[in-house]
Amino acid sequence: MKAPFEAVASAINNRPRAVLIALAAAILIALVGTSMVSMATGTDTYLDKDTPRGMLLAKYSSTFQSDAMLVLVEADDVLNPAVLDYMDRLQSEIKTEAHVTSAASVVDMVRQVNGGALPTSTAEVDAAQARVPKELLARYLPSRTMTISAVTLDPGLSQEAQFSLLNSVKERIQLSNPPPGVTVTVTGNAAFSQEMGTEMGGSMGMLIGAALLLMVIAVGLLFGHVRHRFLSVAIVAAGLILTFGIVGWSGLQINMATIAAFPVLIGIGIDYAIQFHSRFDEEARRVSLPEAVRMTVTRSGPSILYAMLATSIGFIALWVSPLPMIRSFGQVCVIGVMACYLVALVSVPAVGLITNYRPKAIAHGTSRSGSEKPTVEETYNSLLGRVAAKVSRHPVTVLVLVGMVALIGFQLDTQIPISTDEDTFVPKDMPALINLEKVSRVMGSTASTPIFVRGDRVLSPEGIRWMSGFQDYELSHNSNMLAANSIATAIVQANGGALPTTQSELDAALAQIPEATKHQYMSGSTEAVIAFSTVELSNTKGESMIDQLRKELAWMAPPPGISATVTGQGEMFTNLIREIEDGKLTMTLLAFGMIFAFLLVVHRRVGKAVTPLVPIAFIVGWNGLIMFVLGIDYTPLTAVLGSMSIGVASEYTIVMMERCYEEWDEGYGLYEGIVHSIRQIGTAISVSGLCTVFGFSALIISAFNIVSNFGVVTVIAVAFSIIGAITIMPAVLALIGGSGRHAAGRTVEPPKA
């Protein structure tokens, strides 16, 4: 392993400026790629279109699902003739837009009962209002101060096309010259997605800025014993630019989960920079700069590489998630940690050579007796050494105690709720969300659960009879069902209220149904949909209802040659509960297995491969305990905590283990090596860990609730990782190393505390 690092050290020693120029060129190319980064929202971030469920939902959406754009009009009196005339003009203009199928509002109702003309006086308006059915009027006119125009779009309209139409409608509204006191707002799913994309971009910029600012503060406060302390921040910034550039050039999209990846990368990247900087400063105090470069690159390079790869493996485990947003989070994190490692590896020694690095003098104080007073760093290292000595003398007791706490955490983890409600993920003050909630209060809060029916005999008498019978059964046996509509409903209406008994009778009824209605419920002669309207349900109740619906479909199966499957966004979000529950365990176990296999390949010793994983197993249990205590739910983002904690914590435990084995190889005995290792790198691990905590802390201020909760638990997880590396790891090393009485060093009694 040292051979390639010897080559890197030689290149840096021989041509440090050329190395930095090459790095700068890579950053410039990456800057071009940053302009290609795009945002992703909607179902594509929750469901993979290549899976059967994803393909079915995509087919249903492109064939039957018509998104509605809602135009919200507010005024002192929306039934004022001048306001009605304005709404009529605006609605007529919107109807001319491409991809607009229809538009309906109180204007159409009033015109219909008024002989086809709009009222011109308040008296005519009042008379017309009295003739409109109350239930219909209440849906579009909840009060005289607000009304809604529902604009129906073509089925299967792409998000880009919806955004383009939305912008066009907004522009028409701006130029429409509404009467004084009238405000017009466009809302709906497209407006929600568009505004969420804008919020994501702003939130990401704010989080990155906040994380970098916190890094400056943390490094300024905690890393003052080295020269050029802020070099680490510059290294992280360069690594971040490289990450953005690779993301842009590769075509990856940023979503609600990946905006959290960048503060995470800042926190992890600063750790690599500090580890290299600390080792370079340590070596520069006792050898020449070229030799310090060689020692830093060849000694710390491999150990930090192992740690970086272990961290990457933790993120690679996320790639098995069925959620695209989690996979992209893992992909961005892998790209980022590798970029930050490479920048830190070459930047620290190259800058050190060019600036003729000189370590700061160790400033000792003077005690009252006149002797030298130890520095804060020396005092802290000494404290860590005493803790390591005590822990290493009683490893079994320590591991049993922390293991019991972890076991409680594992038990409580199964009781943590899982949330998949997208409305709770976004900022609560986001205007699009407020407008949607306002519309829900006005028009009623309902959800849709469609059943996609396919087969050669969908439009046979048997197929229509089954659809009608299944609808009636659900409406009479399921209290959550409010209404059901399908092509069977329209055929029964067209056939005088009776089900057709022959194919000719069915064909005759079909001929009487308007084409618009047919397109709403059927596609060709082989595809149809049963649209169930349901009450709004919680995630758990929604999952239960859909499971029951699947069982009833199996029990009351369609005729041979016809299949029926539950689909729709409601089914997608309720299914996320199961995928999150199963996925978080799978990702955690996979991360453990992959890191163990990686360390086994590297070290070829089971004991050395297991050692760094023991404290991490405790940390994962502690995470479950703290989430339960704080009342934080599992979401698509917090579900990655187990796998990510394994990756992040493994860096600290691996670096600690590698340094301990290095000291043993230098001739230190079992306990001496453990204590000396802690005293040598305890400060570096603590400082880099605290800087990582500062970086992750930026997530907490995010306006996205899903990101801020993730920030809270990741900050705690990193804190646990530091504790595990400097307090639990000595106990594990004492047991593993003690079992073989490490042959490379002399065995001595543990130091006295």
User: What is the Cα 155 distance to its own chain's centre?
Assistant: 28
Which pLDDT does position 334 carry in this prediction? 92
Span 191-226, pLDDT tens digits: 777 787 777 777 778 888 888 888 888 778 777 778
Mean per-residue pLDDT of the chain: 83
CATH classification for the domain delimited by 376-430+574-753, as one of 3.40.50.300, 1.10.3470.10, 1.20.1640.10, 3.90.650.10: 1.20.1640.10
Rounded average pLDDT over 519-533: 86
Q: Is the pLDDT of residue 110 over 90?
A: no
Token output for 46: 């929750």
Q: Are 65 and 521 in contact (CB under 8 A)?
A: no
Lowest pLDDT segment from 74-88, 168-182, 422-436: 422-436
As a whole number of angstroms, the distance between CA 608 and CA 505 comes to 78
Token output for 147: 């009304």
User: For the residues of 534-594, what is the DSSP string, one character each?
Assistant: EE---HHHHHHHHHHHHHHHHHTPPPTTEEEEE-SHHHHHHHHHHHHHHHHHHHHHHHHHH
Q: Which of 645, 639, 647, 641 is nearest to 594 (CA)?
A: 647
pLDDT band at residue 748, thresholds of 50, 70 and 90? very low
Token output for 440: 């829900």
Give, in order, the Cα–Cα distances in Å from 748 to each of 383, 634, 669, 674.
20, 48, 6, 12
As a whole number of angstroms, the distance between CA 648 and CA 629 comes to 22
Helix axes 324-354, 261-284, angle to 10 degrees: 30
Across 390-424, b (16+ Cβ under 10 Å) vs e yields: bbbbebeebbeebeeebeebeebbeebebbbebee
More confident residue, 287 or 381: 287
Domains 65-194 and 376-430+574-753 share a fold: no
Which pLDDT does position 750 carry in this prediction? 42
Amino acid at 234: A
**DSSP label of 79:** T
More confident residue, 367 or 574: 574
Q: Are 262 and 240 in contact (CB under 8 A)?
A: yes
As a whole number of angstroms, the distance between CA 199 and CA 205 comes to 10
Q: Domain 440-573 adopts which CATH fold?
A: Alpha-Beta Plaits (3.30.70)
Which pLDDT does position 371 carry in this prediction? 57
Q: Are 265 and 238 in contact (CB under 8 A)?
A: no
Q: Which helix (H) or strand (E) holds 212?
A: helix 189-222
Which pLDDT does position 450 carry in this prediction? 87
As a whole number of angstroms, the distance between CA 358 and CA 259 comes to 39
Which pLDDT does position 418 carry in this prediction? 84
Token output for 472: 């009636």
Q: Domain 65-194 adopts which CATH fold?
A: Alpha-Beta Plaits (3.30.70)
As a whole number of angstroms, the distance between CA 314 and CA 470 comes to 47
More confident residue, 422 or 1: 422
Q: Are 584 and 642 in contact (CB under 8 A)?
A: yes
Span 389-438, pLDDT tens digits: 888 888 888 899 999 999 999 999 888 888 877 777 777 777 777 776 76
Which pLDDT does position 743 carry in this prediction? 40
Helix axes 613-630, 395-413, angle to 10 degrees: 40
As a whole number of angstroms, the distance between CA 271 and CA 197 comes to 31
Rounded average pLDDT over 70-92: 87
User: What is the Cα 348 distance to its own chain's centre?
Assistant: 32
Span 585-622, pLDDT tens digits: 888 899 889 988 988 888 888 888 888 888 989 999 99
Main-chain phi, psi angles of 750, to 5 degrees? -60, 145
Which pLDDT does position 406 carry in this prediction? 92
Q: Is 135 helix (H, G, I), strand (E, B) or coil?
A: helix
Span 333-391, pLDDT tens digits: 999 999 999 999 999 999 999 999 888 876 555 545 555 666 666 777 788 888 888 88
Domain boundaries, the chain: 1-35+231-363, 65-194, 376-430+574-753, 440-573
**Half-sphere exposure for 274 (CA within 13 Å, toward CB):** 31
Taken as a whole, the chain contains a residue count of: 753
Give the rounded percent of residues in the chain with a pLDDT score beyond 70. 92
Which pLDDT does position 19 carry in this prediction? 92
Q: Are 2 and 298 in contact (CB under 8 A)?
A: yes
**DSSP label of 371:** S
More confident residue, 188 or 731: 731
More confident residue, 465 or 751: 465
Which pLDDT does position 65 carry in this prediction? 65
Which pLDDT does position 366 carry in this prediction? 52
Q: Is the pLDDT of residue 446 over 60?
A: no
The sign of the CA dihedral 318, 323, 326, 327 is: positive
CATH 1.20.1640.10 fits 1-35+231-363, yes or no: yes
As a whole number of angstroms, the distance between CA 235 and CA 375 comes to 28
- Sequence-separated (6 or more) residues with CB below 8 Å from residue 273: 231, 232, 233, 235, 236, 340, 343, 344, 347, 348
- Between vectors from CA 550 to CA 544 and to CA 555, what angle results, nearest 5°? 125
Residue holding tokens 């055929």? 491
Give, in order, the Cα–Cα distances in Å from 112 to each of 93, 119, 132, 326, 416.
19, 11, 9, 51, 54
